[in-house]
Structure 1
Amino acid sequence: MRLGVAASLVGDALVPGDVSVDSGRVSGLGLAPAGAAGLAVPGFVDVQVNGVAGVDFLSADAGGYARASRALARTGVTAFQPTLVSSPIESVGKAIATLAMLDPMPGARVLPAHLEGPFLSPLHHGAHDPRHLLAASREVADSLCGLGPVGYVTVAPEIEGGLALVRHLVSRGLVVSLGHTDADADAAAAAFDGGARAVTHVFNAMRRWAPRDPGVSGVALSRPDVFVTAIIDGVHLARETVQLLLAAAGSRLVLITDAIEAAGLGDGTYHLGDREVHVRGDEARLADGTLAGSVLAMDRAIRNLISAGASLELAVGAATRAPARLLGRPDLGELRVGGNADIVVLDGSLEVARTLVAGGEVYAA
């Protein structure tokens, strides 16, 4: 099957010509004759999304996941990590067990869960209910991971037992990110040396950078082995901060949405776990004004990043190759002959025109 596109983004190269797909795989790139319009790029990968389209992943059933999968595909996402915020352990366990029973989805692929908590700092709990935070515990972590697919955990390494938990989770093959943390530079460096691979929504809910106390954000930006995840929605980070990230992190920058169930639905009152969230415009906040996730879509995050000065190649890479590398998933985030045909076709305004997962069309504008 030919897609009829004018060009494709293969690595950092714009390749003129059409793309073909057969049996769920990319079978040709740069084919003549080229289509009339459209740019084929790898499917987007979101490593932090709490919900979308009225679905909160902490309480979602199989039908909710199907609705979310379709909604995310409309924004170009072809694979996502359901993110579970700090909540009663029983609720988190039930959500993980639901993941274990899911059938293949009609839209974006469901990846193993991202546990954003409960092993976080009470000093930087953000929108997380501090009543649900716990000291770092291998036993609790292992119990949760035993209930279903978990692939990624955000940890504050400076809390009691935090560094040991980082090392333990890494030894189990999980991706560890540092976030909601008061870690100083030494604690952050020790955790990264212990195998942590990323920082969660950089500059938000963490110790502030200072000239002689750079904290986790400063350490992450200074290390070439650390990925930096960021919410580029015009709310969480100033434009100049985004430009700093582009200069310092470059290809290590990973776009996340941190979207909540309100994404795609407009203003109103919603939930993030058991917390009530008020949405107005682009802002999602608790009653006290604390930011509580976002209503961002991944295609818009890419356009926002380009507006801040990123090249098309870097911006798309921040939603495709970079998160795939962070997760250690060479089957995601790349267009290559023989690779998975998870593909997004963008129009001239970089809006999503089509989304394909395993070569099957799951969205068409």
Structure 2
Amino acid sequence: MNLLANAKVVVPDGVVPGTVHVEDGRVASISEVDEQDVTGWIVPGFVDIHCHGGDGASYTVGDAAQARKVAAFHLRNGTTTTLASLVSSPFELMLDAVHNFRPLVEEGVLAGIHFEGPYLAESRCGAQNPEALRDPDIRELDKLVEAGAGTVRMMTIAPERPGAMEAIEWLSVHGVLASIGHTDASYEVTLEGINAGATVATHLFNGMRPFNHRDPGPIPALIDDPRVTCELIADPVHLHMGTLAFAAHASVAQWAVLVTDAMSATGMPDGEYELGGLNVTVAEGAARLTDSGSIAGSTITMDDAFRNAVKLAGLEVPVASQMASQTPAELLGLDDAGRLEPGSRADLLVYNEDLELQAVMRAGEWIPR
């Protein structure tokens, strides 16, 4: 039995000064201790639903060996559950990725695939390759979902594209999360997409029409609807930390998730990289398309996102923890990830008082860092 003693333990309904008892890969119990004796934090392992790469490797090429490398890197940095996010790609690459990643999902290395595109708006494509963009195709979706047998978990769609409403409804019926993003949709069309079955907002604020009080666009429709869970990239490149705080308070932790949107340069030096066939330059940790200067993903880990949310945006540790773990796990329908309670899988992180990550445990096993 592993004992993680005398810390502030973040549990589903708050914080317990206690010791976590782990047995057979699961949380056996959490016993309370005197509040004066605790130091540091124990939080659930992070769940990242939007991650493209790290450690010089990328999910976006659909290669299993690179996917293992990415997942292992982010696991060392606190992400115990992750979706492999691809960018807009030809259908053949998408199908290859499903075939190649399905064994990793069955093995538990990945929780599934998130296709960020290719059914996105040209005017809001950001770092997505415009040559790969196209209208939604139910035939493509059917082949992908059938080949994956549960591997395809989420797809980002611009609701204004022809056929988008039918695709959103089809995805929701077939158990795939439909997410609205990279969109120039109006407020009304965004609501139509939500009514069709969309339940996620891909990196809220980024890659979408900005808010205007006379032409509100997608942002207030997404953030105000309790049916929608909003992704927030918790780095100062994508969002001012005041914007992150506002969004977290407006949607509350039950309907907001921290994501990385990390690309292959995460954990690597500044330099030249690639994303979806486009050249990316990373300077001072900010990734941008070499030609246009558009932001091209982030170079943060979920450890960074969590700490930024607390130290820069001023969120309380339990709130940031819920946004990084419990809410995304519930969004994915995972029963025993993203929370610490008796019977749950022992995915947990140990932090000191300064919120420096000290140790990572997944399924009761310590991960070498």
CA distance in 2, matches of 1:104, 1:40: 28
Pick from 224, 227, 230: which aligns with 1:225? Answer: 227
CA RMSD of aligned residues (A): 1.8
Q: Which amino acid aligns with 1:114?
A: H
Pick from 266, 286, 303: which aligns with 2:307? Answer: 303
CA distance in 1, matches of 2:281, 2:225: 37
Taking a change above 3 Å as real, the CA distance of residues 218 and 36 of structure 1, as seen in their structure-2 partners, is closer
Q: How many percent identity over aligned positions? A: 35
Query: Mind listing any 5+ residue stretches in structure 2 that lack a counterpart?
Result: none
How many Å apart are 1:31 and its aligned residue? Answer: 4.7
Q: Which amino acid aligns with 1:358?
A: A
CA distance in 2, matches of 1:5, 1:308: 27
How many Å apart are 1:57 and its aligned residue? Answer: 0.8
Structure 2 matches for 1:197-212, cutoff 5 A?
197-212=199-214
CA distance in 2, matches of 1:175, 1:50: 18
Q: Which amino acid aligns with 1:278?
A: T
Partner of 1:255: 258
How many Å apart are 1:91 and its aligned residue? Answer: 1.6
Pick from 329, 332, 335: which aligns with 2:334? Answer: 329
CA distance in 2, matches of 1:316, 1:109: 22
SS of the aligned residue for 1:27 comes to: strand
Structure 2 matches for 1:185-204, cutoff 5 A?
185-204=187-206
SS of the aligned residue for 1:363 comes to: coil
Q: Which amino acid aligns with 1:338?
A: G
Partner of 1:340: 345
CA contact (8 A) 1:185 1:213 kept: yes
Partner of 1:150: 152
CA contact (8 A) 1:20 1:29 kept: yes
Pick from 270, 275, 278: which aligns with 2:278? Answer: 275
How many Å apart are 1:201 and its aligned residue? Answer: 0.6
CA distance in 2, matches of 1:5, 1:300: 24
CA distance in 2, matches of 1:186, 1:212: 13
CA distance in 2, matches of 1:61, 1:221: 35
Partner of 2:25: 24
CA distance in 2, matches of 1:243, 1:102: 35
CA distance in 2, matches of 1:358, 1:57: 23
CA distance in 1, matches of 2:318, 2:32: 20
Q: Which amino acid aligns with 1:48?
A: H
CA contact (8 A) 2:136 2:161 kept: yes
Q: Which amino acid aligns with 2:9?
A: S
What are the Cα deviations for residues 306-341 of structure 1, in whole angstroms up to 9, with x where unaligned? Answer: 121211111111101111122222322111101111
| TM-score, reference length from structure 1 | 0.94
Structure 2 matches for 1:29-40, cutoff 5 A?
29-31=30-32, 37-40=39-42
Partner of 1:3: 4
CA distance in 2, matches of 1:157, 1:113: 20
CA contact (8 A) 1:76 1:355 kept: yes
Query: Mind listing any 5+ residue stretches in structure 1 that lack a counterpart?
Result: none
CA contact (8 A) 1:356 1:363 kept: no
How many Å apart are 1:7 and its aligned residue? Answer: 2.8
CA contact (8 A) 2:105 2:112 kept: no
SS of the aligned residue for 2:10 comes to: strand
SS of the aligned residue for 1:101 comes to: helix
Structure 2 matches for 1:1-365, cutoff 5 A?
1=1, 2-31=3-32, 37-59=39-61, 61-102=63-104, 109-148=109-148, 149-251=151-253, 252-287=255-290, 288-306=292-310, 307-364=312-369
SS of the aligned residue for 2:5 comes to: coil
CA distance in 2, matches of 1:8, 1:22: 17
How many Å apart are 1:207 and its aligned residue? Answer: 1.4
Q: Which amino acid aligns with 2:93?
A: S
CA distance in 1, matches of 2:142, 2:279: 29
Moved more, 251-260 or 139-148: 139-148
